[in-house]
Copies of this chain bind each other. A is one copy, B any other.
């Protein structure tokens, strides 16, 4: 047992459990009733804790809302950033970019994130700080993580660009925009099948590579080159 104070591991864990229960209840209630339609009383009841416990953990409704939104975006975004820093060493750029684009589209099209996103946008006039933070920790972070990778791919001669940040923005929005615009506006949480989402991601990468790769990605030509080598000519065998 810890000797560092009254709160031992058991208490710590009970407190953490309550906190998690509040967060989970609050997400449900906010998503169902909107920000204005939600009361701390309701969240406390849904989490089976007292109102005082909610206030102890989160100060007020606005703070709770902010923590939930940013916590969710950090959590769902994590799989995108895992291993992203190995991209510059790729041996198959098109394949790896398609894999990244598919990851992005899977993340942003999660029904729970779509609903949270609509809620944040709807409240962006009232809570510009939250909207700004959502932008920075969502698309902003994605773009800022990708830009230096694209810069290193340009140094390797695989990509060519004047502005890596703009290239990263184009990559992100080519990957996700077609389904994301429709889902965000229509209120439909699953407007596309996983196969359709993958096609949107791959087609976005195709457009991206046409603009930013040193050579246009011609599958057949690349294959032929792979077989005979860049300097050999047809008929010149042995």
Contacts and interface: CB of A to CB of B under 8 A. Distances in A.
Interface string A23-59: 0000000010010110000000000000000000000
A222 interface: no
A169 interface: yes
With most chain B CB atoms within 10 A of its CB, the pick from A120, A122, A138 is A122
A185 B124 contact: yes
Contacts of A119: 122
Interface residues of A, number: 44
Interface stretch (A80-88, A151-159, A207-215): A207-215
**Majority secondary structure of chain A interface residues (helix, strand, loop or mixed):** helix
A145 interface: no
A138 B166 CA distance: 25
Contacts of A174: 170, 173-174, 207
Copies per complex of this chain: 2
A185 B135 CA distance: 6
Given A182-B135, A207-B208, A210-B210, A115 B125 contact: yes
A216 interface: yes
Given A36-B37, A122-B119, A207-B207, A127 B187 contact: yes
Give me the 4 closest cross-chain CB pairs, A-B, nearest first: A122-B122, A124-B187, A210-B211, A173-B177
11 contacts: A36-B36, A118-B122, A118-B125, A127-B187, A132-B185, A135-B181, A138-B185, A169-B177, A169-B178, A170-B203, A210-B216
